[in-house]
Amino acid sequence: MFDLRWIRENPDAFDAGLQKRGFEPMAETVLDLDKRRRASNTSMQNMQTRRNEVSKQIGLAKSKGEDVDALMAEVANLKDDLQSAERVVKDLDDEMRSILSGLPNRPYDDIPVGADEDANELVRTVGTPRSFNFRPKQHFELGEDLGLMDFEAAAKISGARFVILRRQLARLERAIANFMLDLHTGEFGYQETTTPLLVREHAAYGTGNLPKFEEDLFKTTNDFYLIPTAEMTLTNTVREMILDEADLPIRLTALTPCFRSEAGSAGRDTRGMLRQHQFNKVELVSITTAETSDDELERMTSCAEEVLKRLEIAYRVMKLSSGDMSFSARRTYDLEAWLPGQNAYREISSCSVCGDFQARRMDARYRVEGEKGTRFVHTLNGSGMATGRTLIAVMENYQQEEGSIVIPEVLRPYLGGQEIIESNG
């Protein structure tokens, strides 16, 4: 959500940000509506003031035994006029909220401008892709050949874009999740958190998922939404709160199932686990100040990178273009892991800074010592990481010619020292 005062003072910058996102200029529309809204509000306040004045006059006239019929008639008319004015103000407020709720966050000036991933900018490449003296298989070939990954059985139960992992692969995914949680809590200071998987509309609105992206969410018949990521619940833990600056940053992490309808992705990644309706993810969320949020993004990204470094998987960091960023983000870094089965880098994590965009929707603030007022917090979120996509990267990078999978050393303590996954396990 945008600050109306900022739009009044920076209409050109507001429109420039929207145009980078592929939206038409909206400053003139917003400011015209704001002008009418403020005029209506002023008129309503004037009516309230006049009604109070007349009410006092009525009391004084009655005490003197004077005729109050005219004053009573004026109060009655003012009551009707006030009710009409209140409806007008509410309608204008609702219209303003509707317009601003549908507009994406303004990207930073350094963000490459483009419609999609083709305009993304390479920041750095880390590690060397593994070389094989045989044709490396994709993860679904490996998993099905081992008898440990079953898409057919999942489809009978739930339809397309679901999978059943069995025995050693199920354990390996759990090991990956535990490794990530231990790393982020033990070394990077994130607080492990267990959150609901179902949220009400206001929570989804707070993170920017509603109203514009309702088709991407699963909704229950009693008006709950299944979370698409724990960002939604972790970020909302500070909604309608006033925090002390001394308590910031707050760093949270959670392992949750995530649910996405994948609307608009028909025909993309239809085979395998890359794009599922249900998957597990370790999420990272930071709540911080305006002065530190950019540095916090670099820190969060480095925390996610450390997962891949310790798994010894080559990856690259991409700065997303204005058209490829999420709705609420001002800057996003994607980590793309090398998948030898696809002979390509594929996204495995996204880390974003949202500024005060989500905080305004949640009314989340902090108090600076020595200042009278409050400021909106800045929020960040990142994947630390999706366990299914990390499983894919491990399988493809550690595969052997006969189809077995070597377990990365850093994961072996979570699997009782097991070193390899074979079909007989």
- Catalytic option among 40, 286, 350, 383: 350
Q: Which residues pair with 272 in a beta bridge?
A: none
Active-site residue flag, 200:
no
* Pick from 255, 211, 247: nearest CA to 230: 255
Taking CA atoms, 388 is separated from 164, 238, 394, in Å, by 11, 29, 10
Q: How many helices (H) and strands (E) does the chain have?
A: 12, 17
| Candidate list 192, 306, 312, 347, residue with the active-site label | 347
Q: 């273009």: which residue's tokens?
A: 321
Q: Which of 275, 310, 367, 375 is catalytic?
A: 275
Instruction: Catalytic residue, from 21, 37, 106, 389: name it.
Output: 389
167 in catalytic set: no
Angle of the 387-397 helix axis to the 167-186 helix axis, nearest 10:
110
Active site residue 350: yes
Per the annotation, the verdict on 360 as an active-site residue is: no
Contact 162, 277 (CB under 8 A): yes
Answer whether 282's CB lies under 8 Å from 300's CB. Answer: no
Beta-carbon count within 10 A of 64 CB? 7
CB atoms within 10 A of CB 125: 15
Which of 260, 330, 331, 361 is an active site residue?
Answer: 260
Those residues with Cβ within 8 angstroms of residue 58's Cβ, 6 or more apart along the chain or in another chain: 68, 71, 72, 75
Residue 330 catalytic? no
What is the sign of the dihedral through the CA atoms of 61, 62, 68 and 71?
Answer: positive
Helix (H) or strand (E) holding 287: strand 278-288
Cα separations in angstroms, 75 against 65, 68, 88, 244, 389: 19, 11, 20, 46, 68
- The residues annotated as belonging to the active site are 260, 275, 347, 350, 389
